Structure 1
Amino acid sequence: MVKKLKLPKFEVSPIKRFILTYKRVFSIVYKVNPRLLISVTIINGFWGLTNLPVLYINKTLIDVVIGSIGLSDLSTPLKTISLLIFFRALVEFARAATSNINSFLTRAMGEQLTAYLERVGGVKLNTLDIPLVESPNFQDKYKKIEREANNRLWGMIEPLSDIPNAIFTIISGVLPLITFNPWISVVVLVVTLPDIIINARIAKKDYEAIQVLNPKWRLWGWIHWHMVDTKQFYENKILGNVEYLARKLFDVQKEIVEFQYKRRKRRATARTFASIPGYILSMVLNIYFFALALLGRVTLGTAQLLYQATNTLSLGFSTFLNDAVNIYENYLFVSDLTWFLELKAELVGGQKQPSLNFSKGIEFKDVWFKYPNAKTWVLKGVSFEIGPKENLALVGENGAGKTTMIKLLSGFYKPNKGEVLVNGVNIFDYDQAKYRQLLGVLFQDFSWYPFTARESIGIGSVDKIKRREEIKKYAKLTGVDEFIESLPLKYENPLSKEFEKGVEPSKGQWQRIALSRILFRDSKILVLDEPTSNVDPKAEEEIFEKIIELAREKILILISHRFSTVRMADKILLIDGGKIWEQGTHQELMNRDSEYAHLFKLQAKGYQ
C-alpha cells in the first residue's frame, strides 16, 4: 500500500525557515551555473552600495548651492557643482548599466534554472516506484509543483539576486543616520516588521487552504488537454463534445479563480494596513529633519541627507523583508520541490548482477496480487514456469490479469504473496537497472516518439542508436521499412506533423515501429502485449513467424486475443479471474476440448 504523503511541516521558526530555504535555493542555482550566480550577487551588491555616494553627493551639492548664494565670484562654486554633478552622473550611469546587466543575467539564470529542473525532474520521476507515482496524493503534490514552477522559480531567483542589493542599501542608509541618531534606524526597522509578520502568516494559511484545490487543478489540466491536443480533435469533432468540455472547464476555473481572488484580496488589504506605520514615521521624521534645518542646527544639505538616508534605509528594510516574505512563501514551494527531489524508490532491488546465460527460465510461485488501495485480488495463486529457451502465450478475456503479470515480471510492483523468479533468483534480489536490461517489453499503450524514424526505433537501445543498418534490419522484420523508405527524409524523417516535413504514421505503422524498437533492444526476455492488434491477420502471422525464429535463444512471452497466432507458442496459459485455468500446447488444449478449445473454435467460426 502506498503511504499517505505528508505536507511540509511548519514547526521551523521563521528565521530558520528563511535560512533553510535560502540555502536550498542557493545550492540548486549554484549547481545550474555557479559563475552566473556569483556575477548576479556581485552586481546586486554593487547596486546597493551606490546608494551611499549618491546621498553624500546630493548633500554636498545642496550645501554648496546654499553656501554660494550671494557670492560675487561663483567660479569656484560652479566648478565644485559641475564636478559633483559629473560624479553623480557617473554613479547614475553605473547604476543604469548595472540594472540592465542584472536584468539580463537574472532572466538568463531563471531560464537555466527552469530548464535544469525540468530535466532533473523528469529523470527523478522515472526513478520512482509506479505505485507511488500513480497515487492521487502524489499526483496532487506533483501537479502543484509543475503548475507553480514557472512563477515560483522566478520568485526564488528574484529575492536570491536582490538580497545583496537590500543589504548594501541598508548599509547606505544606516551610515549617515548612525552619526546623527542610531535609534532612528531601529525605529525604521520596527515599523517595517508588521508587513513581514502579516504576510508570513497569510502565506502559511494560503498554502494549507489551497491544498483542497489540488484535485481541481488536475481536472483543469485534463479537460484543457482534451480540448487542445491534436490527437483528440477527431473524436471531439465526431462527438461534438467541446461545448460540454468548455462548460465543465468553466465551472472548475470559476471555483479556482474565485478562491484565488479572495485570497489575493485578503493579502492586499492586510499589506495596505501594515504599511501605514511606515508612512506615518516617514512623514514625522521628514518634518523633524527640516525643522532642524530651519532652526539652524543642521544644514539644509544634512537635512536632505538624513531625509534621503531614512527613505533609503526604509527601502532597504522593505526590500529585504519583501525578499524574506517571498522566500518564506517559496519555502512552501521549495519544500515541495525538495521533497520531490529527495524521494527515494521503495521497491529497491538487491546487488546481484543477472547473468545472460540462463540455466533456468521464469517462474511464478503462488503469486497473489492486488493494486494499492484496491480490495479485489487481480492474481490469485498464480504458478507456472517457462524454460530458458521457451515461448509462452497468455490468453484470456480483458481484465483477467495478463498485463498485470507482465508488470510484476518487470518489477513495477511486488507481489503481496509469493515471488517471481528469473534464472532461479527473486527478481528483487537483482540490481533493478541491470535486471531490466534483460527485458524487452512492448506494452499495449506503447510510446509514440515524434523524433526521426531512426531514433524512434533506435531509442530501444540508446547505446546503438546510430547503428542505422541494424535499425533497418528490425524495421524490415516488422514490415515498416517500406513505409520509412517512402518518407522524404527516410530514416531521418520526423514522425509528427508538428515538425517540418514531419509525417504522422497510421496506428498500425506506429505499432510496427514500436515492435521494431523492442526487437532492436535484443533482450534476453521478450514480452509482447498485443503487439500486432492493429495489423491485418496475414501480416501478423508473417511477423510472428519471424519473431519466433528470432527468439529461439530467448524467452518469449506473447499476449494476444488472436488464437491463430498463439497456437505457435510452445506453451499456452488460459487466464481467467486471476487464475490459470488451463495450460499446455495448442494441440493438448484442443484435445482437452475445454474452455480454450471452445474459445478457439468460436473465433475460428468468425473468420469463416
Structure 2
Amino acid sequence: MSIRRKISHIKHSLNLPRIISLVKTAAPRWLYISLTLIVLETLVFFASLYLMKLLIDIVAKTTLHSTEAPTEIIRFVILSGVAGVLYFVLRSFSAYSIEVLSTKVSEYINNKVHEKAVDLQLSFYESPSYYNVLKRALEAGTDKPGLLITTLIEIVKNFLSLAAVASVLLLINWLLLPIITLFVLPTLLIRLKYSRKLNILRIAQTSMERKSGYFSNLITTDTAAKEIRTYSLGGYLRQKFSDIRYTLLKEKLSLSLKRTQLEVFTTALSYIGIFFCIGFIALKAVSGETSTGDITLFLVAFPQAFTLLQHIAAGVSVVYQNSIYINSAFELLELQNHFDQHAQQECIPSDESVSIRLNNVRFTYPHSEKETLSGINLTIPSGKIIGLVGLNGAGKSTLIKLLCRLYDPTEGQILWGDTDIRAFEPQHYRKQLGIVFQDFNKYSFTAGENIFFGNINDPFNLARAKDAAAKSGAASFIESFPNAYDTTMGRTFEDGREVSIGQWQKLALARCFYSDARFLIFDEASSALDAVSEKELFSTFRERIGNRGAVIISHRRSAILHADYIYVLSQGQIIEEGTDEQLMQRNGAYANLFKESTTEAADY
C-alpha cells in the first residue's frame, strides 16, 4: 500500500469530522466547558514552568548576604505555589468535565443504536450479516465512545502542554524537540499499522465471536437449561465454546506479539534519543552556552516533553483504533429500511365496516430465490372470523408477517378497504392489528405491564386490563398472587413468579384483547393451552372479540370450527376455501387434515 493510500485510509478510518459533529450534538455545553478548562490548565502549567525558571535564575545569580534577594525569592515562591494549586484545581475539574462529556456521548450513541435497532424492519433480523453489524455497533456503543472522547481531549491537552514545554525547550536549544519527535514517531506508525490489522481481524472474526456468544448464552442462561441437563450437553457445549475461543485468541495474540516485538525496537530507539539529547545539552553546559536555570529547567521539562510525546503517540493510536469501532456504529445507523412508501402518507379511514384484502399477493424472502407465497387472494371482513390452516411450511406465518406489514409483498397488493396499506405510516397501520404470535415473547415485567403492552399509547387502565385477562383466562392465576397485577412474571428478577407456558400464552392473549386493534390475529394462540382452557376460549370466541375481525391459524379443528370462512394453504398457495361444513363435505385436503374427528381437535 502506497504512503498516499495509507494516509487516505487512516483519514477515512479516523472520520474525525463526523465524530466531532457527533460530540457537538450529544453534549455541546460539556464539550466547550472541557476545552475551556484544558486551555486554562495549559496556560497555568506554562506559567508555573516559567515561574520556576525565573526562581532558579534568581537563586543562581544571588550574591551572599543580599538584602533584596529574599523578597524576590519569596514572591516567586508564592506565585509558583499559587500557580501549582490553581493548576491542580483546574486539572481536577477538567478531568470531571471530560468524564461527563464521554459518558453523555456513550449514552447518546447507545440510544441511537437502540433507536435504529427498533426502527429497522424485520428482514434485518432474519439476516446473519445484520447481526455482525449489530454486534460491532454494540461493542462500539459501550465504552469505546467514552474512551475515544477522553483520549481525543487528552491529546489536545497533551499538545497544548507540549507547546508550553516546547516553548521552554526552544529557549534552551531549538534542536531538542525535533530530535525527540523523530525518535518517537516510529512507535506511532507501528501502532497505527497494527490497529488497522486488528480491525481487519475483528471484522473477520465477528461471525465466530457471535457463535461463541451463542454457546455461552446456552450454557449460562435458562434458554436450554432443562435439555442441557437432561441430555448431558454441558461438556459438549463447553468444548465447542473453548475451541472457538482458542482459535480467536490465538489469532489475536499472534498479531499482538508481532506488534510488541516491533514496539520494543522502536521504543528502544526513542530512549536512545533521550540520552542523545542529554549528552547534547550536557556538552552545551560544559561550554558555558546554557545557564544554571536552563539546565535545571531542561532536567524538568525534557522528561515531560518526552512523556507528552509518548502519550500523544499512544493517544493517536487509541483514537484511531476506537474510531474504527465507532465507524461500526455509524455503519448501523446508516442502514435504511426498504419499505415501499408512498410520498404522501394517508390517514387510516375510521369507517367500522372495512375489510383487509390480499390481491394476487406473491412474496419471496430477501436473499432467497424460492417464492414463499404465490398468487394469494383472500378477504378478512370486519366482524368476521377467518381460519387459516395448512401443514408446517405452507406459508401461514409468512402471510401473517405480510398482514402486519413486517414485509411488503414482492408482487400484488394488501388493501385496507380500497387503499394499499403502503399508503399508511407503518406504525399507525400496525395499531389496527392485535396479534398473538406462535413464538410469543415472555416479558419479565409485571402481569399488568404484560397486558398493557397491547396498547402503550394510552395510560394504563386496570379495569380494562382485568377485562382482557378475563377474556384470555389469565385473570384466575394473576389474581391468586398477593400482588395480583403488580406481580413480576418469571424468575429473571427478584420477587418474580414463574408461571407455566400455558399461563404465559394467556398473558399474550390478554395483551391482544387489551389492544385497540380492529383486527385480531391468533397464530397458534392456543397451542400451549390445556383442553379445558382452549374449549372455554373458542366456545365463546365471538363474544370475546366483539365486533372486531379475527384471523385464526391453528393445527386444531376445535380452534377454527366456528370460523365464518376458512382458507387452506399448501406450498404457498390457497388450494381450498369455504366454511368448515363445505370443506368437510368436499373430502379434500381440509378433510384429510381433520379426518380423525369432526368435533375433536386433531394435531397433524
Is TM-score (shorter-chain normalized) higher than 0.5?
yes
The one-letter code sitting in structure 1 at the alignment partner of 2:433 is: L
Write the letter of the residue equivalent to 2:188.
I
The 1-side partners of 2:68 and 2:540 are apart by: 100
Preserved CA contact (<8 Å) 1:379 1:401: yes
The question of whether the paired residues in 1 share the 8 Å contact of 2:169 and 2:177 is answered with: yes
Tell me what 2:253 maps to.
Answer: 261
Letter in 2 for 1:73: H
Whether 1:410 and 2:391 are equivalent positions in the alignment is: no
**Deviates most, 154-163 or 588-597:** 154-163
1:425 aligns with 2:404: no
1:102-113 counterparts in 2 under 5 A?
102-113=94-105
Q: 1:80 to 1:294 in 2, by over 3 A?
A: farther
What pairs up with 1:257-296 in 2 under 5 angstroms? 257-296=249-288
Distance, in Å, in 2 between the alignment partners of 1:392 and 1:12 is 64
Deviation track 1:277-336 (CA, whole Å, cap 9, x = no partner) reads 432232222222232223222212112324443443344443334332222222322222
Paired residues for 1:566-585 under 5 Å: 566-585=560-579
* Greater displacement, 313-322 / 365-374: 313-322
The alpha-carbon distance between structure 1 residues 301 and 180, as it changes in their structure 2 partners (threshold 3 A), is closer
Instruction: Out of 40-49 and 584-593, give the one that drifted further.
Output: 40-49
Query: Cα distance, 1:523 vs. partner?
Result: 0.5
CA change 1:563–1:607 in 2 (3 A) is: closer
Specify the alignment match of 1:4 in structure 2: none
Structure 1 position 189, deviation (Å)? 3.4
Q: Confirm or deny: 8 A CA contact 2:559 2:601 kept in the other structure.
A: no
The alignment yields a C-alpha RMSD, in angstroms, of: 2.7
Q: Tell me, which stretches of 5 or more residues in structure 1 are unaligned?
A: 1-9
What residue number does 2:25 align with?
A: 31
| Cα distance between partner residues in 2 of 1:109 and 1:185 | 32
1:373 Cα offset (Å):
2.3
Confirm whether residue 63 of structure 1 aligns to residue 57 of structure 2: yes
Q: CA deviation at 1:567?
A: 0.9
| TM-aligned CA deviation for residue 400 of structure 1 | 1.1
Q: Given that residues 552 and 559 in structure 2 are in contact (C-alpha distance below 8 angstroms), is that contact kept between their aligned partners in structure 1?
A: no
Secondary structure, counterpart of 2:581 in structure 1: helix
For residue 381 of structure 1, report the CA deviation from its aligned partner. 2.2
Instruction: Output the TM-score relative to the length of structure 1.
Output: 0.90
Q: Does 1:13 align with 2:5?
A: no
Residue in 1 that maps onto 2:429? 435
Shift of 1:452: 1.7
**In 2, are the aligned partners of 1:478 and 1:543 still within 8 Å (CA)?**
yes
> Shift of the alpha carbon at 1:248?
0.6
Amino acid at match of 1:508: G
CA contact (8 A) 1:378 1:401 kept: yes
The residue aligned with 1:332 is 324
CA deviation profile, 1:180-200 (whole Å, cap 9, x unmatched): 444543444343332333322
Residue 123 of structure 2: aligned partner: 131
In structure 2, do the counterparts of structure 1 residues 348 and 315 end up closer, same or farther at CA, with 3 Å as the change threshold? farther
Q: Tell me the amino acid that sits aligned with residue 485 of structure 1.
A: E
SS at match of 2:454: helix
Matched, 1:305 2:297: yes
- CA-to-aligned-CA distance 1:387-416 (integer Å, 9 cap, x gap): 233221111111111000001112222223
* 1:119 to 1:447, Cα distance in 2 relative to 1, 3 A: farther
Distance in 1 (CA, whole Å) between partners of 2:243 and 2:86 is 52
Q: Which residue of 2 aligns with 1:234?
A: 226
2:416 pairs with 1:453? no
Which of 546, 551, 556 pairs up with 2:550?
556
Contact 1:349 1:432 in 2 (8 A): no
Looking at structure 1, the residues matched to 123 and 495 of structure 2 have their Cα atoms a distance apart, in angstroms, of: 40
In structure 2, give the amino acid aligned to 1:453: A
1:537–1:121 Cα change, 3 Å: same
CA apart distance, 1:453: 1.6
Contact 2:361 2:410 in 1 (8 A): yes
With 553-562 and 288-297 compared, the bigger mean Cα shift is at 288-297
Q: How far is the alpha carbon of 1:596 from its aligned partner? A: 1.4
Residue of structure 2 aligned with 1:400, choices 394, 400, 403: 394
Instruction: Give the distance between the partners of 1:362 and 1:78, measured in 2 at CA.
Output: 97
Corresponding letter in the other structure for 1:284: F
Q: 1-side partners of 2:551 and 2:599: how far apart?
A: 26
Return the letter of the residue paired with 2:402: L
Q: Percent same amino acid at aligned positions?
A: 25
The separation in 1 between residues aligned to 2:220 and 2:182, in whole angstroms, is 52
Q: Indicate whether 1:154 and 2:146 are aligned.
A: yes
Unaligned ranges ≥5, structure 2: none
SS in 2 for 1:272: helix
Amino acid at match of 2:272: I
Superimposed CA distance per residue, residues 504-558 of structure 1 (whole angstroms, 9 cap, x where no aligned partner): 2221111111111122112012111111211122222322344422434322111
Q: Does the C-alpha gap of structure 1 residues 97 and 245 become closer, same or farther in structure 2, counting only changes over 3 Å?
A: farther
What TM-score do the two structures reach when normalised by structure 2?
Answer: 0.91
Q: Which residue of 2 aligns with 1:486?
A: 480
